[in-house]
Amino acid sequence: MFHAGKIVFMYRSEKNSNPMLFPKLFHLGSRLDYANRWLKLGEVMPWEKLDELYGKHFAQGYGRPAKDSRLITGLLTVKLIKNLSDEDAVQDFMESPYIQAFCGAEYFSVEDVISPSVLSERRKRLGADFFAFFDSEVGRLIKDSKAFRLRSAKDPSGAGLFGSFIYKIRKIFG
């Protein structure tokens, strides 16, 4: 939908309460290992606050539905932890039922769920307030977790975990 010459995206939260994870994939009595580090991190992530901040950057009630906040923030977290490109983060998501569960998927998907270019577009759209919260809260959770070690990435701005993304975007786009 176009509004004032721009493509308008609306946001509709797809929160669900404790869905059974991948029942079709694991229908023979097998289950995900709930001791898995991604599932443990998923239990303590501030998903509701991230959803609230994410939703502020989209129109309410009209336009094409945007990707769910948990998928986007989950993939941004995977990128952060593993120091991956957008393409590699999406590839890891497609290959791992644990990362898909972390990102809020109810069923294991073997088809493309998201294009890597959506992550780049969302980084531009979400802005400083979202990434300030993401950087402080999610960064703290990851640092406090003994299950993850952040892979180092050079941060020329000295602005924190996702400050380098903002720095790069500002450097490219002025």
Cβ atoms within 10 Å of 36's Cβ, excluding its own: 17
Domain region containing 115 = 33-58+67-173
Query: Distance from CA of residue 158 to its chain's centroid?
Result: 23
The share of the chain scoring above pLDDT 70, in percent, equals 73
Q: Which residue has the tokens 């998928």?
A: 71
Classify residue 8: in a domain, yes or no: no
Classify residue 27: in a domain, yes or no: no
Whether residue 13 is predicted with pLDDT greater than 80 in this model: the reply is: no
CB contact set of 116 (below 8 Å; sequence gap of 6+): 85, 86, 87, 89, 90
Classify residue 133: in a domain, yes or no: yes
Over residues 121-148, mean pLDDT: 91
Classify residue 18: in a domain, yes or no: no
- Determine contact, residues 51/70, Cβ cutoff 8 Å: yes
H or E element that contains 75? helix 69-82
CA–CA dist 74, 54 (Å, integer): 12
Q: Provide the domain count of the chain.
A: 1
Q: Are strands 9-10 and 64-65 parallel, antiparallel or unpaired?
A: parallel
Classify residue 41: in a domain, yes or no: yes
Q: What is the pLDDT of residue 89?
A: 97
**Per residue in 14-64, pLDDT tens?**
665 455 555 555 432 357 888 899 999 999 999 999 999 999 998 888 888
pTM listed for this prediction = 0.72
Q: What is the pLDDT of residue 167?
A: 64
**Per residue in 98-112, pLDDT tens?**
999 999 988 888 888
CB contact set of 148 (below 8 Å; sequence gap of 6+): 37, 41, 81, 142
